[in-house]
Amino acid sequence: MTELLEAIGHNIRSLRDEKGWNQTELGFRAGASPSIISLIENGKRNPSTATLAKIAEALGVEVVDLFPKGRRSSPELSLFYGDDERPSVVVDGIVGLLEHWHARRLAEVKDPASLYFRNATSAALWVADTREEANDFCLFLSEWGRENLDAFKSVWDAVHLFGAGLALDNPAIAGEMRLREMADGPDELAARKMERAVAESQASMAQFQELGKAVNE
């Protein structure tokens, strides 16, 4: 989720700079305080789609222009694409960032010399962090999807988003499998953090799946 917020913030800052505005000017035009604009531009605040719409309107662009263009690279996610099908620009941007996160996390868990898996406690903390990030992504997709149900009029947009969302659990599952193969167990605090993250991730995934039901209604 952090990478998505940072990318959106970078685009907002670039568009603002092109107009020669400071954060106070953009905040005034978008109906937000300069401190909120600063947090968004630095990727430290998850803006609602309504806030993004106001910022885009103030900058004279479409909301899609605030999202980066994505790239299809991860085999686990790209299996949902056909040779000639492309999602919309916004969906492509979202899926592209999910792919980047997905590939990075899988590379970490597959690396036999990974410092994240030097012992069971480190592994449990890695699983917890990965689950928490996946949880943030799911919550973002659920909110964005419910506020933009029209986006799912395209069957391919729906397939790409839900395919990417449902794949978010894969790195953590791989990490949990590697953890189970270790001879020792994590300390109590790491184990509890992982347990809590798993529960939160399951809840957010259920919320994301509820979006699928809403789309099909």
Read off the pLDDT of residues 80-128 as tens digits, 9 standing for 90 and up: 344 444 556 777 778 778 888 888 898 999 999 999 999 999 999 999 9
With cut-offs at 50, 70 and 90, classify the pLDDT of residue 165: confident
Are both 131 and 106 inside the same structural domain?
yes
Q: Between these two residues, 61 and 47, which has the higher pLDDT value?
A: 61
Give the whole-angstrom CA distance, residue 40 versus residue 178: 36
Give the whole-angstrom CA distance, residue 166 versus residue 76: 10
DSSP secondary structure string, 7-33? HHHHHHHHHHHHTT--HHHHHHHHT--
Tell me the CA end-to-end span of the chain in Å, nearest whole number: 28
Q: What is the CATH number of the domain that holds 43?
A: 1.10.260.40
Q: Between these two residues, 94 and 23, which has the higher pLDDT value?
A: 23
Are both 165 and 82 inside the same structural domain?
yes
- The count of structural domains within the chain is 2
Are both 6 and 48 inside the same structural domain?
yes
Are both 132 and 211 inside the same structural domain?
yes
With cut-offs at 50, 70 and 90, classify the pLDDT of residue 130: very high
With cut-offs at 50, 70 and 90, classify the pLDDT of residue 76: very low
Q: Between these two residues, 139 and 130, which has the higher pLDDT value?
A: 130
Which residue's entry shows tokens 């885009």?
56
| Helix residue spans in 111-154 (DSSP H) | 120-147
87, 156 Cβ separation under 8 angstroms:
yes
Are both 99 and 45 inside the same structural domain?
no
Q: Which helix (H) or strand (E) holds 78?
A: helix 75-78
* Nearest Cα residue to 172 out of 144, 193, 145: 193
Are both 9 and 111 inside the same structural domain?
no
Are both 53 and 160 inside the same structural domain?
no
52, 148 Cβ separation under 8 angstroms:
no
Residue 3 falls in which region: left (phi positive, over 0), alpha (psi -120 to 50) or beta: alpha
Letter for the amino acid at 69?
K
Are both 192 and 132 inside the same structural domain?
yes
Domain that residue 146 falls in? 75-216
Are both 181 and 105 inside the same structural domain?
yes
Q: Give the pLDDT score at 83.
A: 40
Are both 143 and 53 inside the same structural domain?
no
Task: Give the end of a domain, one of 66, 92, 120.
Answer: 66
Task: Give the end of a domain, one of 40, 66, 92.
Answer: 66
**Angle CA(57)–CA(60)–CA(63) in degrees, nearest 5?**
55
Are both 57 and 117 inside the same structural domain?
no
Are both 190 and 150 inside the same structural domain?
yes
**For the chain, what is the radius of gyration of the CA atoms?**
19
Task: Give the end of a domain, one of 66, 87, 120.
Answer: 66
